Structure 1
Amino acid sequence: MNSLPAAVASALAEAGGEDDADWPACWQELTAVSVELQSLLLTDPGPELVALVEQIVTQLADGVAGSRRHRVELAELTHRVLDIHARACAVSTPDPVRLADWLLDLQLEHPEAPEVALAPYAEALDDEGLAHYRERAVALFEPLPVVGFGETGRYDRARWALLRVMEELAEYTDDVDLQLLVLSKDLSSGWHYLQVATVLRDAGRADEALEWIDRGLRATGGRGAALRLIDLAVEEHLRRAAPHRAVAVCREAFLVRPNLEIYLKARALVVHTDEWPPLRAELVEHLVRDGGRLAIEVYRRIVEVELARRGVQEQEVVVGWLRQLRGLQPDAFADYLEHIKSRHVADRELLDELSRRGL
């Protein structure tokens, strides 16, 4: 038993040489150690075997870090030996706090490998060991700086290792607060805000979800994941039987960054109510005041949508919008108007109305 660490050290030293021809023999020696450990698990389980396997796992993890040509094979072997360690711990019931420290230190000191799954250690860690593991991991993770919106995350080895530890811990414990702690360390895009809000919504913490949606919308300025954030907010307000809040979300988002999809969301919410005419007028007036290229493009798309859906009342509104658009874009308006007429050449009622209005 005591000769196994020396065999591993010798094989790793030879495998790290310049002559790759030595690798097959080295690999055979390393796998033979793995087989011997499995045999010892059956014949001589106990604290001594746990300590021995820990020593060999550490050796192999060091080998992964120091190898360029055989990193994958060594990582896979490390995982196999680590599985033997988990089974040995289940039999010998080591001190749970010491085991928690060893598992955590192994990962933090060897970011390349192995990735430790906590489930195989459930019995050995027990509540005491798991609580210690969680306390240490959180204490190390919490001080990490948050990656702010628009920033590029710098994932050095230490941060990457801690992130992996926390993700596994959150998944194993099914702890929403841990999951949120992990997600909220990277807020570099609107999609990250969306992830946090979705987790909160799914956990039944809707008030917090809406707070994160608001933060995400402010951060994105209407770009990127903003539409999905708005969808989430609208769904939640409708679930709460508060359609006025859903409309307010759409209105505020449109005023920040005009968008046809947001316009259509607002329209769908109140089109059959008395709220729609004044809201529509406000949104269109905002486009008129804005007057930029984006506003004009959104304006044109709204006109097209309303033309496709119009009734008698909508026809009058569309004609009014076209006259406003002529003031916004006089040079290009004639071509745009001819485009509309050619697409609706069979609609005599519309063409007569345009003519009557001087268009």
Structure 2
Amino acid sequence: MDSLPATVASALAGTGGGTTGWPERRQALTAVAAQLESLLVTDPGPRLVAVIEQVLTRLADGVTGGHRHRVDLAELTQRVLDTHARACDRIRPDPVRLADWLLDLQLRHPEAPEVGLAGYAGALDDDGLAHYRDRAVALFAALPVIGFGETGRYDRARWALLRVMEELAEYTGDVDLQLMVLSKDLSSGWHYLQVATVLRDHGRSDEALRWVERGLSAVGGRGAAPRLVDLAVEEHLRRGTPHRAVEVCRQAFLARPGLEVYLRIRALVVHTDDWPPLRAELLGHLAREGGHNAVEVYRRVVEVELARGGPQEQDLLAGWLHQLRGLQPDAFADYLDHIRSRHSADRRLLDELSRRGF
């Protein structure tokens, strides 16, 4: 038993370059893995756990060292780790020491192996798992947050800790751990959305809406903004606060005008007395913006209102067209022809356009 770590070291010694002799060395390593499995039946005890840990460390060193055969080594490492988990379940070593060893193994070897805490549930017990959690959380908390627009800095140490925390969160079902992991990378609006969605799904509505607000502030109307708005609207409607849903949409429109959010606002308030003044505010904002995007949105909004509205919208059309002519004088004639052609069967509208000098 005691010679097995040396056998592994000898088999690994020539794997750094070339392929000569690798099949034989792989066979020797596989034989070690098989012998450890046999010893678990014939000679279980604390010494076996120690030998398995030495073998695992050497194999993981081989994977991390970037050997040509690291894929084969990773598979062998995982096999021996499974044996280690079964040995610990039977022998029950000191749980706190086991927690430290498992954590150190992963942090020093980001590429392999992948420790599944479920396999160590009995051996770790409550004390070992609590120690594992506390130490992992303390290490992870010290990592800097990747801010919005920054490039993720996933060095090997960060990657290893991230994997540890993800497995810990999944095993324990601890939502706060999951949120801690997600909120370490806020490089895009989609990450804010992930955090808000998890909070919403676990009934933490107030926190979810605060994360939506933070996300919308960060993205400035781009990227994940429509999805963030959707989540906020759905949540406010579920809570029975539709006026807050409207305000979220209004702020999103003012930050970056778009037809999609305009239609969302329209659907929420079109049948209320709030709609006429709110629509006037939104269109006035487009007129003041005056850029290419604002003009394009304005044109599409007018078409929507003519298609979905009634006589009141036709009465307002002259004012909207005056604003559009001022915003885009060179292209206005073509746009007016488009309106006339699209609504050629609407005599009332065409007469109104003629009466207003269009």
Mapped pair 1:234 → 2:233: yes
CA distance in 2 between partners of 1:52 and 1:315 (Å): 85
CA distance in 1 between partners of 2:97 and 2:230 (Å): 48
Q: Comparing 40-49 with 75-84, which one deviates more in the overlay? A: 40-49
What is the SS of the residue equivalent to 2:114? coil
What is the SS of the residue equivalent to 1:21? coil
User: Could you tell me which amino acid in structure 1 is paired with residue 119 of structure 2?
Assistant: P
CA distance in 1 between partners of 2:36 and 2:217 (Å): 57
Q: Which residue of 2 is the match for residue 302 of structure 1?
A: 301
What is the SS of the residue equivalent to 1:14? coil
TM-score, structure 2 as length reference: 0.97
Q: Which residue of 2 is the match for residue 264 of structure 1?
A: 263
Q: Which residue of 2 is the match for residue 245 of structure 1?
A: 244
Q: Comparing 108-117 with 8-17, which one deviates more in the overlay? A: 8-17
Report deviation, 1:218.
0.6
Q: Gapped runs of 5+ residues in structure 1?
A: none
CA distance in 1 between partners of 2:309 and 2:243 (Å): 25
Q: Which residue of 1 is the match for residue 108 of structure 2?
A: 109
Q: After superposition, give the CA deviation of every residue in 1:116-166 in whole Å (9 maximum; x if it has no partner).
A: 111100111001000000000011111111111000011111111111111
Report deviation, 1:224.
0.6
What is the SS of the residue equivalent to 2:305? helix
Q: Which residue of 1 is the match for residue 131 of structure 2?
A: 132
User: Could you tell me which amino acid in structure 2 is paired with residue 278 of structure 1?
Assistant: P
Mapped pair 1:209 → 2:204: no
Q: Which residue of 1 is the match for residue 40 of structure 2?
A: 41
Q: After superposition, give the CA deviation of every residue in 1:65-96 in whole Å (9 maximum; x if it has no partner).
A: 22332111111111111011001111001110
- Counterpart contact for 2:15–2:67, Cα < 8 Å: no
Report deviation, 1:338.
1.1
Q: Which residue of 2 is the match for residue 223 of structure 1?
A: 222
Q: Which residue of 2 is the match for residue 8 of structure 1?
A: 8
Q: Comparing 31-40 with 339-348, which one deviates more in the overlay? A: 339-348
Q: Which residue of 2 is the match for residue 320 of structure 1?
A: 319
Q: Comparing 37-46 with 116-125, which one deviates more in the overlay? A: 37-46
Q: Gapped runs of 5+ residues in structure 2?
A: none
CA distance in 2 between partners of 1:64 and 1:77 (Å): 10
- Counterpart contact for 2:96–2:127, Cα < 8 Å: yes
What is the SS of the residue equivalent to 2:21? helix
What is the SS of the residue equivalent to 1:247? helix
User: Could you tell me which amino acid in structure 2 is paired with residue 183 of structure 1?
Assistant: L
What is the SS of the residue equivalent to 1:42? helix
Report deviation, 1:4.
1.1
Mapped pair 1:89 → 2:114: no
- Counterpart contact for 2:17–2:67, Cα < 8 Å: no
Mapped pair 1:330 → 2:322: no
Report deviation, 1:339.
1.9
CA distance in 2 between partners of 1:66 and 1:161 (Å): 15
Q: Which residue of 2 is the match for residue 149 of structure 1?
A: 148
Q: Which residue of 2 is the match for residue 194 of structure 1?
A: 193
User: Could you tell me which amino acid in structure 2 is paired with residue 159 of structure 1?
Assistant: R
CA distance in 2 between partners of 1:308 and 1:115 (Å): 58
Q: After superposition, give the CA deviation of every residue in 1:181-225 in whole Å (9 maximum; x if it has no partner).
A: 111111111011111111111111111111111111111111110
CA distance in 1 between partners of 2:346 and 2:23 (Å): 81
What is the SS of the residue equivalent to 2:257? coil
Report deviation, 1:17.
4.2
What is the SS of the residue equivalent to 1:15? coil
Report deviation, 1:3.
1.7
User: Could you tell me which amino acid in structure 2 is paired with residue 105 of structure 1?
Assistant: D
Report deviation, 1:319.
3.7
CA distance in 1 between partners of 2:238 and 2:300 (Å): 30
Q: Which residue of 2 is the match for residue 58 of structure 1?
A: 57
User: Could you tell me which amino acid in structure 2 is paired with residue 297 of structure 1?
Assistant: E
**Percent of matched pairs sharing the same residue:** 77
Q: Comparing 257-266 with 66-75, which one deviates more in the overlay? A: 66-75
User: Could you tell me which amino acid in structure 2 is paired with residue 187 of structure 1?
Assistant: L
Q: Which runs of 4+ in 1 moved over 6 A?
A: none
Q: Comparing 63-72 with 140-149, which one deviates more in the overlay? A: 63-72
Change (3 A) 1:74 1:311: same
User: Could you tell me which amino acid in structure 1 is paired with residue 15 of structure 2?
Assistant: A
TM-score, structure 1 as length reference: 0.97
RMSD (Å) for aligned C-alpha atoms: 1.1
User: Could you tell me which amino acid in structure 2 is paired with residue 270 of structure 1?
Assistant: V
